[in-house]
């Protein structure tokens, strides 16, 4: 896992970035972005847009605090952490790896390809890519997380 040991949100992806071992030991968003393709910059950006307490300042949040409050996991099992984080599983293929999960995730009314189970703190979305998670979808995800108490206390 890359990032906080007590994250508020864990993003699960099916593949690991370059420098994974180094990033696991010393989480650094600049290293993640510099040692990988633009694809990972987009993932970090979308993670920041969702996790940032203030959407207006997501860039500053990404570059300074993202990996202090969130994490990225490549494991196909939910992290069992004391912090009781939200779990974001992005992408249909990736979601198949978690088919064992018992949940009651319901699609968002305004965004049918995004589903949330507030009780179990699960978020299911398309793969984290700008084409599938544009700003309008990000706003809807933030509303759902806010209703689930994600931004309180940040």
Give the start-to-end residue ranges of the domains of the chain. Answer: 2-147
Predicted local distance difference test score (pLDDT) of residue 101:
95
pLDDT score, position 153: 63
CA angle 23, 26, 31 (to 5 degrees): 55
pLDDT per 10-residue tile (average), the chain, 154 residues: 96 96 96 95 97 96 97 95 94 95 94 95 95 94 93 73
Q: Where are the alpha helices (DSSP H) in the chain?
A: 20-25, 29-34, 38-51, 58-64, 66-69, 92-97, 135-147
pLDDT (tens digit, 9 = 90+) per residue, 102-111? 999 999 998 9
């Amino acid at each position: 896992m890359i990032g906080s040991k007590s994250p508020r949100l864990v993003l699960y992806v099916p593949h690991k970035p370059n420098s994974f071992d180094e990033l696991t030991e010393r989480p650094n968003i600049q290293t993640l972005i510099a040692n990988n393709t633009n694809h990972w910059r987009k993932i970090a950006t979308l993670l920041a847009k969702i996790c940032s307490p203030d959407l207006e300042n997501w860039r500053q949040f990404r570059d300074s605090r993202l990996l202090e409050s969130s994490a990225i996991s490549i494991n196909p099992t939910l992290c069992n952490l004391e912090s009781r984080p939200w779990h974001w599983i992005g992408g249909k293929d990736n979601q198949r790896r978690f088919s064992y999960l018992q949940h009651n995730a319901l699609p968002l009314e305004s965004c049918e390809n995004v589903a949330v189970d507030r009780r179990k703190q699960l978020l299911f979305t398309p793969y984290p890519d700008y084409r599938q998670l544009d700003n309008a979808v990000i706003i809807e995800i933030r509303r759902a997380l806010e209703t689930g108490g994600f931004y309180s206390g940040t």
